[in-house]
Structure 1
Amino acid sequence: MFKLHGPKRLSDIVTGDETWFPFFIIPPKRLNRMWVDERGDRPVVLRPGFQSRKRMFTVFFNYSGPLLVDILPQDTTMTATYYVQNVPSQANSAINEQRPKVSTSRTLLLNDNAGPHRARATTQSLRELGIQVLPHPA
């Protein structure tokens, strides 16, 4: 597929994955230290797990950098339904913007083997958009 003068090039590969990022960062305890006088109350020092929130980011990128960053709404999980309704269409638009002459006809998507990526609805949606999925090793 990637032979010299073959039908595909490495620049046709788009890869993406999800990862959790902290919603806000709590400074280390040593940065929370301060001098207080005898009459003053000690300041409250937040513990790392206290009210710590995370958000899931889905990031797609190709040879030239990030194509799409999708932030999962708070208190939801990544499901095939959310993935199909939001991610492929946004990625398709980003690919068409970046490569208008080539479009998605040459695009190869490399995802991991997560459930939402392998779901029947996802594969059908990607097929309708003309995006070929590269097999990911186990």
Structure 2
Amino acid sequence: MLLKYSKKDSRRWSEVITGDETWIYYYDIQSKQQSSKWIFEDEQPDTIPKQTRAVGKRTFAVFFSTRGIIEYVMLPEKHTVTATWYTENCLPQVFQAVERLRPKTGLRGMKFHHDNAPAHTARKTKDYIKQSGLELIDHPPYSPDLAPCDFWLYLL
């Protein structure tokens, strides 16, 4: 990607859509006011057990460009990312969002980037992206440190 876009024309970076899946943890924490209760002087206060850090977690697929987040898609609970879910549920939503954001040009001229997860490298996924008219930017094998999501989106 760096070699391809190393020219001074930074406008071309806006043509790249990149995405990745991540776990998002959620919490259900009571405030002090919610957990307080009236007691008499001679009563001992109830022991409030320490709450677990996260009540649950959900998987989201997040796609963005240099202009910000294009679309995020929540994976159904207790499901994993498969090529079928990716091509039938996730990518159609992302491509529709791009077409809403770019009503004149739509997907024309856009390039698509994601990592080498099995759902991303499946023949079904590659065929779907090619059929949509997008150019697929290859992700180098064994290079998780080069994923744009790690630098610009998740920052962790």
Q: TM-score range by the shorter chain?
A: 0.7 to 0.9
Q: Which residue of structure 2 aligns with residue 120 of structure 1?
A: 123
CA-based RMSD: 2.8
Query: What are the superposed Cα offsets for residues 60-106 of structure 1, whole Å, 9 maximum, x if unpaired?
Result: 01111111110001111111111111112111111111112222121
In the alignment of these two chains, the number of paired residues is: 133
Alignment of 1:45-64 (within 5 A): 45-48=49-52, 52-64=55-67
Deviation at 1:54, TM superposition (A): 0.8
Q: Which residue of structure 1 aligns with residue 27 of structure 2?
A: 25
Q: Which residue of structure 2 aligns with residue 67 of structure 1?
A: 70
Amino acid at match of 1:96: E
Query: What are the superposed Cα offsets for residues 99-129 of structure 1, whole Å, 9 maximum, x if unpaired?
Result: 1222212111110111101111000111111
TM-score (norm 2): 0.72
- Measure, in 1, the Cα distance between the counterparts of 2:50 and 2:109: 50
Alignment of 1:37-116 (within 5 A): 39-40=43-44, 42-48=46-52, 52-116=55-119
Identity of aligned residues (%): 30
Amino acid at match of 1:15: T
Q: Which residue of structure 1 aligns with residue 19 of structure 2?
A: 16
TM-score (norm 1): 0.80
**Quick check: 2:21–2:59 contact (8 Å CA) kept in 1?**
yes
Name stretches of at least 5 consecutive residues in structure 2 with no aligned partner: 143-156
